[in-house]
Structure 1
Amino acid sequence: MTDTDAEAGSPLIPCPSRQPLNVEGVRAYASDPFWKRVRTVILLSLFALWVSLLAVAAVGAARKPCGNYMRARRSAGVDGLVYRVEAGAFCCGDSGKGDLRGLITKLNYLVELGVNIVWLSSVHKSPNKNFGLGVEDFQTVDPDLGTLEIFKELVSEMKKRDLKLVIDLVPNHTSSKHIWFQKSIDRIDPYTNYYIWEPPYKFDGEGNPIPPNNWVSRTGGSAWEYNEKRKEFYLHQFSKGQADLNFHNEKVLEEMLNIFTFWLDLGVAGFSLDAAPHLHEVLPLRDELLIGSNHHLETINDSQNSINHINTNELPENLKLLQALRNYVEDYSKKSDGIPRILMTGIHDTVKYAAKYNSNGSKPLVDLLYNFPLITRINSSSSANDVMSAISMWINNIPHGIKANWVIGNYGQKRIADRLGSNMVDGMNMIALLLPGTVITYYGEDIGYHSDATKFPDSKNYPSKILKTQEIGDGHLNVYKQLSKAREEPAIKFGNLETKVLNGSVFAFTRYEPGFPQYLVAVNWSEEKVQVDFGVFDVSERARVYVQSSESPRRDPDVKDIHAVVMEPNEGMVLVFEP
């Protein structure tokens, strides 16, 4: 602006002079009509903003439920839909039985399901005892499942489809046929102390060696097996064909990190660490205590439940080892592509020990702790209150940094259709897929498999008759796909959760995110029809059925009266309420 502009009385600088203002000048400006209008606009704007903030706060307070409640967390790590595959039982490929080639043929199907992560059972060479968890060679693929070249093809095809691959890895033990173990028997360094070896406690009257202490294996009987060649006992917390590694020996950790590198270099996104609670044991040896007693056992008891496994389970050293593994995969990511790698594991008592797996209050040691209450605490005689209790037990005890997750099937249990009945398959999937957090689907639960159906439909017949029927109609597969699709909705991804039991037999919960459609899930755990009032939740009066159990006779998607909804026996439904 020039001096001429100022002298002409610019509307931006209405002062006639550049001289400092005195009190009279300020008063003159304050009474000027232009500045009065400016002050009025500013004050009205601030008042409107204040009223808006009060309104938002009031709505939020009103929306917050007073019952069982949680806020879904926007957290990193394992998120979305995890699909658990047993490589040897999923789908037939080149071998005529379940193998890696069969899995490759089903990748498009998994994408259609909305899967983000494929969690694959152990593919390592193994004598195939106990689901391949006694590994004979950590750096080869079991010939029954394929080859390393086929594994590389699997990883490549998954990356094309934006699927991540997590594989089972058992750091706790190896097969007794592993080359490390064979060299350890012969005391060939550095393998001499790769395993837990101990001399006999003593010999009995017939010259038979007596185990070093009273430790009992997870499969029953002594946790010690005598080796005639080495003349010592080795520890096996599982079967005698699975010898425990000695992580007190730093070289064993180095070996495990090399194994991590091998598979990470091949392109896996991470590992599920099996038997992690057993990684360390107390040395020097001490007897376990008899449950309900302070006295040491003097004889071996065949039942693993007869003693407190305080010297072989959930030791503090386990957490230090997991921290070392976590640090290693993080360093690997930083030095390679910057993409975070995944670590998952399971523990016997998730609620009791979960907090310990959060290393420093904000950064967990693992990305996912499997959560089993919907398997172990729910059966055919369970009620809606039992379901709510199992869910609340986990939700109310989730430590900061630990991701909620829901598992409703695994290899150690019968299928949902067998445990609860085929009419409960859809209801359980509704609960698992629409609760906050990650869902882990055991292969086949998406189509209501029974326990005697050990393999997925043959790839040569894909889409098979059973899949085609379920997909185009109201079958389990169609229900599952609708639920998977709903997981992309803001209310399901980020929304609040409120749970209730209605009329004593219907377990129900809502998911709500302000400004977006609200969802209500309800499952009738009764063998009788029941009328429920969904108005006990903070929902609108208008609702429609988003999806219902495949066996439901309901055909009208519009809900006439949310205060009087009749649910069929064992029926599940998902309602959607527009904002």
Structure 2
Amino acid sequence: MLVEGYVSTDGPYTGLTKDQLLECAYCPLWVRVRCLLLVAYWTSWLVMLAGAITLVVVTPKCLTPEPLQWWQLSPAYQVYPLSYQDGSHPPDGFGDILGIESRLDYIKDLGVGAIWLSPIYKSPMKDFGYDIQDFRDIAPVFGTMDDFHSLSRAMKERGIKLVLDFVPNHSSNLHEWFQKSVKREAPYTDYYVWTDAKGFEPEGTPIPPNNWRSVFGGSAWEWNQERHQFYLHQFLKEQPDLNYRNPWVLQEMKNVLQFWLDQGVDGFRMDAVAHLLEDEELRDEPVKDEDSIDEYSQLDHKYTFNLPKVLDILREFRILLDKNSENGTKIMITEVYMPVEKLMAYYGNKSHPIAHFPFNFELISVSQENISAQSIYSTIMTWMDNLPKGAWPNWVSGNHDNSRMATRFGNELVDAINMIMLLLPGTPVTYNGEEMGMEDTDVSWEQTKDTVGINAGPMKYKLFSRDPERTPMQWNAGMNAGFSTANQTWLPVNPNYKTLNVQSQLNAKWSHIKVYKLLAKARKTEAIMNGELAIRVLEDCVLVYTRVKKGFPGYMVVVNFAVDTVIVDLTKLDHVPNESFIYVFSTTYAHSFTAKKRISNSEVMMPGQGGMVLTFVPEFPEETIPL
């Protein structure tokens, strides 16, 4: 075969030699072909690179949320120690630290991640541990420091955090600091707020320096004959106010915090912090409502409440807690009763944080007025709308100072309120017993006044109670509801304990406790932890909100506050499909629904006074990526 430029030889064809290949490679035709292919390759590569960069730039970002801290993950549980469980041997009718430890498995099983322990400090018990005689010791009625360490270890074994009540505003008048301050012993001379009498009545009675009133009524000033001066007490006269204008006092209280941090405490709930400072000039407070029956409410407390420098003191406490947070956040919660827009200042800001959150009592406040879907909606939105950017919400439905949730909202709505509270963004805080719908107990003044006494040092004090929501925890239908086998409990047990108790609810097919446990479990899902909140009122009486995060199952809380049955169309909310599955329903609906049942969202029949939680696959509009 003849190829141009080459001569065929006899024999089989053996291919081109190396020199022949090189000669062909440099042929102008093949050079042009190779150049065109190379240009085409790099052009397509650059186009794909540009496209990839464009996609990265224009595609909506899916930011990975920061991991939540322990105090954000699970419900917190307030334990009122005197009323939780008597663990004494022999039993004495009072709850104590060993009793709490004996019930930790129950608390863990609820899905609770942290216990807030009301005061257990050494105290004459005039106000249940809020008049503290020694900030570094345990009241004998609650046990010993060894008992506390045992409780702390047992909680850590179960992964439960311990938040201790801290009372920075005042001490007991039996505290060593006060006793030495009365005697003007250095450095305690000005540890409390002392001042001279304004004058004396003709018969020699000293006149208080101003018109300041105690929260519990009467003058906020008490005359001390030994020191021959008045001291300030914004609460009981047995609770003299500490003087935070004295830097030694601030350091003393920081030392107290450090002491308990060293004992293994994970944080503090700080009581009555808005009262920490008073006007240096001791000016009279303006009259706000002289016709008010409550003496304290008659005045505008501009000189004794929420002074600006209170936040500076709390900031000092927060700095100390942050310094101790190497092995886990040490949390700071503040208790302040004030309008929401003012309360937000207690969060501080990003560069100067104060509280991890101030308690949100709005659900308690609204339940003492007209309860409706609209009022609950407004309560939730007021908090969320005022929340500073990046701040963490919280929800409190009850505590030891307010009537029980079942008494305020009605037993029918217990589960519904827990649904609302536990699945909203933020940390829910549950007062012990609210998980099973405990109710207020009728406690007469005589029963309260003549309750069992406690030996506290050389004197024997009588307890007094302000509240029917502090009666013993109802564990079973046995003697004293399983709280104590003593002949008498410090407050009487509610007579309904025979049917309303933990054991009966755990054994029942459906109960408040079982609803609560499922709600706590749902909090661990991505939609509840990091999802968006959308909330509406339908048909004037049904509160509905969704928690949605793309790529994960959504949750929807639906509560009917009306007595009558209402039919609602849930597809009016964004991302809600035509069908959902029932996740959990209130005990009032036990005969109307079944778990995991598929329902049509466009026509949901909601019986009166109850609620349910639905799960669904959220629908999102198809997104178009700009070219």
Scaled by the length of structure 1, the TM-score of the pair is 0.86
| Other-structure match for 2:280 | 283
Q: Deviations over 1:470-526 (max 9, x none)?
A: 235110010000000000010000000000001000011000010000111011100
**Partner secondary structure for residue 140 of structure 1:** strand
Q: Deviations over 1:370-408 (max 9, x none)?
A: 001100112474110000001111000001243100000
Q: Deviations over 1:138-171 (max 9, x none)?
A: 1110111111000010011111111110111111
Q: Which amino acid aligns with 1:469?
A: S
Distance between the aligned counterparts of 2:204 and 2:367, measured in 1?
A: 49
| Other-structure match for 1:231 | 228
| Other-structure match for 1:544 | 581
Q: What does 1:407-418 align with in structure 2 at a 5 Å threshold?
A: 407-418=396-407
Q: Deviations over 1:397-420 (max 9, x none)?
A: 001243100000011111111111
Q: Which structure is larger by alpha-carbon Rg, 1 or 2?
A: 2
CA contact (8 A) 1:72 1:436 kept: no
| Other-structure match for 1:20 | none
> 1:577–1:199: structure 2 CA closer, same or farther, 3 Å change rule?
same
| Other-structure match for 2:188 | 191
| Other-structure match for 1:21 | none
Q: Which amino acid aligns with 1:326?
A: R
| Other-structure match for 1:3 | none
Task: Give the one of 380, 386, 391 matched to 2:375.
Answer: 386
Distance between the aligned counterparts of 1:301 and 1:543, measured in 2?
A: 52
CA contact (8 A) 1:491 1:511 kept: yes
Q: Which amino acid aligns with 1:215?
A: W
Distance between the aligned counterparts of 1:275 and 1:325, measured in 2?
A: 15
Q: Which amino acid aligns with 1:113?
A: L
Q: Deviations over 1:73-132 (max 9, x none)?
A: 866573131101111111221144311111101111111111111100011011223332
Distance between the aligned counterparts of 2:78 and 2:382, measured in 1?
A: 24
Offset at residue 27 of structure 1 (A): 8.1
CA contact (8 A) 1:222 1:302 kept: no
Offset at residue 533 of structure 1 (A): 0.5
Distance between the aligned counterparts of 1:405 and 1:520, measured in 2?
A: 19
Offset at residue 41 of structure 1 (A): 6.6
Distance between the aligned counterparts of 1:505 and 1:483, measured in 2?
A: 23
| Other-structure match for 2:83 | 89
Offset at residue 357 of structure 1 (A): 2.4
Q: What does 1:137-148 align with in structure 2 at a 5 Å threshold?
A: 137-148=134-145
CA contact (8 A) 2:286 2:300 kept: yes
Distance between the aligned counterparts of 1:241 and 1:136, measured in 2?
A: 10
CA contact (8 A) 1:216 1:302 kept: no
> 1:379–1:569: structure 2 CA closer, same or farther, 3 Å change rule?
farther
| Other-structure match for 2:454 | none
Task: Give the one of 67, 71, 74 matched to 1:78.
Answer: 71
Distance between the aligned counterparts of 1:108 and 1:418, measured in 2?
A: 27
Q: Which amino acid aligns with 1:467?
A: V
Q: Which amino acid aligns with 2:336?
A: I
| Other-structure match for 2:165 | 168
Task: Give the one of 598, 605, 615 matched to 1:576.
Answer: 615
**Partner secondary structure for residue 289 of structure 1:** coil
Distance between the aligned counterparts of 1:276 and 1:125, measured in 2?
A: 21
The answer as to 2:263 corresponding to 1:266 is yes
Distance between the aligned counterparts of 1:326 and 1:469, measured in 2?
A: 43
CA contact (8 A) 2:422 2:428 kept: yes
> 1:229–1:405: structure 2 CA closer, same or farther, 3 Å change rule?
same
* Greater Cα offset, 509-518 or 453-462: 453-462
Q: What does 1:35-184 align with in structure 2 at a 5 Å threshold?
A: 36=40, 39-40=43-44, 43=47, 76=69, 78-79=71-72, 80-94=74-88, 95-96=91-92, 97-184=94-181
Offset at residue 284 of structure 1 (A): 2.5
CA contact (8 A) 1:326 1:343 kept: yes
**Partner secondary structure for residue 563 of structure 1:** coil
Distance between the aligned counterparts of 2:40 and 2:126, measured in 1?
A: 87
Q: What does 1:198-209 align with in structure 2 at a 5 Å threshold?
A: 198-209=195-206
| Other-structure match for 1:554 | 592
Distance between the aligned counterparts of 2:191 and 2:293, measured in 1?
A: 27
> 1:229–1:195: structure 2 CA closer, same or farther, 3 Å change rule?
same
* Greater Cα offset, 367-376 or 130-139: 130-139
Distance between the aligned counterparts of 2:31 and 2:295, measured in 1?
A: 92
Distance between the aligned counterparts of 2:86 and 2:526, measured in 1?
A: 38
Offset at residue 332 of structure 1 (A): 3.3
| Other-structure match for 1:321 | 313
Distance between the aligned counterparts of 1:280 and 1:233, measured in 2?
A: 17
Q: What does 1:257-406 align with in structure 2 at a 5 Å threshold?
A: 257-291=254-288, 303-333=295-325, 337-349=326-338, 351-379=340-368, 381-406=370-395
Scaled by the length of structure 2, the TM-score of the pair is 0.80
CA contact (8 A) 2:582 2:599 kept: no
> 1:51–1:259: structure 2 CA closer, same or farther, 3 Å change rule?
closer
**Partner secondary structure for residue 324 of structure 2:** helix
CA contact (8 A) 1:184 1:193 kept: yes
Number of equivalent positions: 536
CA contact (8 A) 1:354 1:398 kept: no
Task: Give the one of 228, 252, 257 matched to 2:249.
Answer: 252
* Greater Cα offset, 363-372 or 72-81: 72-81
| Other-structure match for 2:548 | 512
Distance between the aligned counterparts of 2:313 and 2:217, measured in 1?
A: 27
Q: Which amino acid aligns with 1:564?
A: E
Unaligned runs of 5+ in 2: 1-17, 19-24, 442-468, 484-497, 619-627
Offset at residue 25 of structure 1 (A): 12
> 1:486–1:510: structure 2 CA closer, same or farther, 3 Å change rule?
same
Distance between the aligned counterparts of 1:25 and 1:430, measured in 2?
A: 76
CA contact (8 A) 1:216 1:301 kept: no
Task: Give the one of 517, 523, 528 matched to 2:564.
Answer: 528
**Partner secondary structure for residue 569 of structure 1:** coil
Distance between the aligned counterparts of 2:543 and 2:238, measured in 1?
A: 45
Distance between the aligned counterparts of 1:250 and 1:414, measured in 2?
A: 39
Unaligned runs of 5+ in 1: 1-7, 9-15, 18-23, 61-70
> 1:517–1:505: structure 2 CA closer, same or farther, 3 Å change rule?
same
CA contact (8 A) 1:350 1:369 kept: no
Q: Which amino acid aligns with 1:483?
A: L
Q: Deviations over 1:349-381 (max 9, x none)?
A: 252223422434454201121001100112474
| Other-structure match for 1:566 | 605
Q: Which amino acid aligns with 1:90?
A: Y
> 1:347–1:39: structure 2 CA closer, same or farther, 3 Å change rule?
same
Q: Could you tell me the percent identity over the aligned residues? A: 38
Offset at residue 278 of structure 1 (A): 0.6
Distance between the aligned counterparts of 1:277 and 1:27, measured in 2?
A: 85
* Greater Cα offset, 515-524 or 464-473: 464-473
* Greater Cα offset, 482-491 or 416-425: 416-425
Q: Which amino acid aligns with 1:359?
A: G
> 1:476–1:35: structure 2 CA closer, same or farther, 3 Å change rule?
farther
CA contact (8 A) 1:211 1:233 kept: yes
